[in-house]
Each structure stands twice: as structure tokens, then as C-alpha cells.
Chains A and B, each alone.
Chain A
Amino acid sequence: MNCEETTKLMDGYLDGELDAITNQAIEQHLRECHNCDQAYKTQRSLIRAIGNATPYYKAPSELRERIQSSLRKEIAEQSNGSGIPVDARPLIAKEHAESRSILFGTSWNWLALAAAIVFAAVIVWNVVPRLQRPAADQFLATQLIASHVRSLMANHLTDVASSDQHTVKPWLDEKLDFAPPVIDLSTEGFPLVGGRLDYLDKRPVAALVYQRRKHSVGHSMGNDHRIDLFPHCTCA
């Protein structure tokens, strides 16, 4: 071991971090070399002085309290919304209330928020058309009734008068671009009177007229059967 190597390993030697063989080699050199031994003693004193003189900054007690309360807040937020084990509730009850009061803070549960948005979208999707529909439907119903009443006033109840569905249906098929179903309801007490062409909701429709005792019943059909929604439109 020469002086250069000893100087290089000096700190490791002083810190007791070298292996036994290197330690022995350094000790051997220090016994032989006065300069290195002197440097060793100075460095050893300096290291001791540093250890003794530098202040050790102990943590103030309020830091411990700050940390403990922030950790409790953390677990309260973690379990906010997820399943909270019952035994953990008393510990976090206070923080739980606190994190609720700062609703717009960081404690938003994004999954819940997403669910709320989807829910709102579903409501809008379903309710808005329903709010708009009655006006349109009501208009159609008015048209339907008007058409029926008009047919009665002008004594123009039917274009094709027949109680036989097999006569009425081909007649309607011929006049329309769709084939309306013509059902025999005589067994139910609604014998067929005949069929008529109407113009409803900007398109030609089939109107079937059935008899109920002394009343006639109009039943109009579009090619998508939408008007089936209003099958019972009776007049004297």
C-alpha cells in the first residue's frame, strides 16, 4: 500500500467500511509513513468534530400531529365511496364530514360523476322527445277525428262498402303503396262496414269502418301502423 492508495481509501478506513485485508494494509502503511499517519489523525478529528458540531434538526411536535392528521384524511378520502369497513368508521367520521363540505375540492369520485352524467343524458334522451311528442300526436288525433266526422257529415263513410275483409283489403291494396291488414272482428261484435281512403299526417292512409251496434268505428292505418295507437274513435 502506497501513500496515494492510502489517501484514496482513508475515508473508507475511518468509516470502518473496508474489508479486513485492506484495513490491515492501511494500518501497516500508517505505521511506516509519518505523513499519512498525521493526515489520518487530522481527518479522524475532523470527522468527529463534524459529527459533534453539526446541529441535528429534530422534528417539532406539531409536524407529527400534522402528518398524523393528513394520513387520517388520506384514508378517509381513500375509503370515501368505496366500502368502508365498519370498524374504521369512528376513526374517519370527522374527516369524512370535512371532505364532504369541500365538495369542489379534490375528493370527487370520478366514477360517480360519470354515472351522474350518463344518468342525466338518459333522462334528457327519454323525456325531451316525450315532451315534444304530445303536441304532434295531439295534432294527428285531431286530424283523425276531423276526418272521421267529415266522413259522417258528407255521408261518405266508406269508399268500398263490404263486410267481407277479402273485398276491402284488395281494394285498399290497389289504392295505397302498402298493404293494410284488414281483420275480421265480427265475432267480437264489430262487423266490418267497409274501407275508405284518407289523407293524414301528409300521407295516404287506410281507414276501416266497423259497426258497433248503431255506432260506426273508424280505424285508420299508416304504412308504419303508427296510427294504430288511436284505433277507437267513435261517433254516432
Chain B
Amino acid sequence: MALLLNAEHAFGLEDFESTAKIVKFAIVPKKHEEPDQSPKEELMSFEAAMLPHLDAAHNLARWLLRNEQDAQDVVQEAYLRAFKSFGGFHGSNGRAWLLTIVRNTSYTLLKKNHAVDLTTTFDEEIHGSGHESVSPATILEHAEDAELVKQAMDELPAEFREILALRHQEGLSYKEIADIAQIPLGTVMSRLARARDKLKECLVARIGKEK
């Protein structure tokens, strides 16, 4: 069919010229189809944008997984995933974008290991009002004990560890946390409040043990 059309066009000189123009046009876009960045250049811009957030990525993964080796594996995997989808990233908040990938990769591993402790509601009732016997001053005193706080935080469910790390260590806004944890903005505040209460309870329980 194409051959037939070309043959017909060839009869008139003007038509033939327009065919020739079309052919030329068909060749030029081929060159434009090549990526405007070489893989090396893309890697350079990816590293420039994402490697500054390596500590944040590692810190989040380390808090979520509670294990140094897993954290490193997850961060490496997350960087690889991020690099593959870097072409689709046009936002300005590279840190939040990267942390979302780190978070999702971490949860994939946690779920694989059946280590997702998302059931946060069940024991809130049990530990509900334990810390009234311990005075706020005593809690604050122990809250400066880094090792004790770390142990208490490691006891918390993943979503509490995650939100405390994002807020208190990265200093992220509620909006950024909502994006990374994929929860509504309104949930961020209530979850943070619950996470802090739970941390307080865990601290009190540890203080009680020490006594």
C-alpha cells in the first residue's frame, strides 16, 4: 500500500518533493529520540541530588529495621530503585522523595520477615495509665538517658518508630511526614501524639524495672 502511494506521488514533481520532505522528517526525529542525558550524566545528577540524604535514609531504615545489616541492604536497594525512577522525579523535595522509597523498601523487608508490628491499638489499653505513679520530673530525668530512650523507642511499633524518627531527627513538617508515611495530614498529629505517649509509657516501664 505504501509502495503504491509512493509510486503515485512520484508522478507529480511537487508531490514527489513533499514525499522527499516527509522522508527527511522521518529521519531527523530518530536522532531526537536518543536520551538527552548520557547514563553517566544522569548518574552524576542523581548522586548530586540524592547522596546528601544518605544519612537520613540510613537513619530511617536503621530505626525501622532495628538492624544495621538490614538497614544498609535496604538503603542500597532503595537508592537503586530511586535511580531507576529518577527520570520521573521532578519535585523539589529530594529528601522526602528518597525517604518514601526507603520507607517502602523497609516495609517490604519487614513484611517479608513477618516483622511488621503495625498492631498499635491492641496494647494501648493495657498500658493505658501506667505512668501516673511516676512523676513528670522523673520521666524527664530519664528521658535524657540516650540508651534508655533508644531501648524504649525500639520497643515501639514500626509506624511509631518511623514517625518519631522523621519528626524528631529529621525535623520534617507534618506535610512531609504525611507524604512519606502515606497517611492523611490529620493523622500525622494524632499518630505523633500517640507515639510520644507510648514512648513515655515504655520509659516509665523501664524506670519501674530499674527501681
Q: A50-B143, A53-B144, A66-B76 are in contact. Are A58 and B150 (CB under 8 A)?
A: no
Q: Is the CB of B54 within 8 A of A49?
A: no
Chain A interface size, as a band, is 35 or more
Most buried by A among B59, B140, B150, B168: B168
Q: Which residues of B contact A64 (CB under 8 A)?
A: 51, 54
Contact A10 B54 (CB under 8 A): no
A46 to B46, CA, bound (A): 38
B55 within 8 A of A: yes
Q: Which of A10, A57, A83 has the most CB of B within 10 A?
A: A57
A105 at the interface (CB under 8 A from B): no
Q: B199 and A15: CB pair below 8 A? A: no
* B146 and A10 contact, CB distance less than 8 A: no
B63 contacts chain A at the CB level, 8 A cutoff? yes
Contact yes or no, B169 A72, CB < 8 A = no
A56 within 8 A of B: yes
A54 B150 Cβ-Cβ under 8 A: yes
Q: Mark A76-97, 1 if CB is under 8 A from B, else 0.
A: 0011000111011001100000
Within 8 A of B (CB), among A26-55: 42-43, 45-47, 49-55
A88 and B54 within 8 A (CB): no
Residues of chain A contacted by B196 (CB below 8 angstroms): 11, 43, 46-47, 50
B150 to chain A, nearest CB (A): 6
Q: List 30 A-B contacts (CB under 8 A).
A: A10-B193, A12-B174, A12-B189, A15-B167, A46-B200, A47-B196, A49-B140, A51-B168, A52-B144, A53-B146, A53-B149, A53-B150, A54-B146, A54-B149, A54-B153, A54-B164, A54-B165, A55-B146, A57-B71, A59-B58, A59-B75, A63-B54, A68-B51, A70-B79, A71-B47, A71-B79, A71-B80, A71-B83, A75-B40, A83-B34
Interface, chain B (partner A; CB < 8 A)? 34, 38-40, 42-43, 46-47, 51, 54-55, 57-59, 62-63, 68, 71-72, 75-76, 79-80, 83-84, 136, 139-140, 143-146, 148-150, 153, 164-165, 167-169, 173-174, 189, 192-193, 196, 199-200
Chain A residues engaging chain B, CB cutoff 8 angstroms: 8-12, 15, 17, 42-43, 45-47, 49-60, 63-64, 66-68, 70-72, 74-75, 78-79, 83-85, 87-88, 91-92
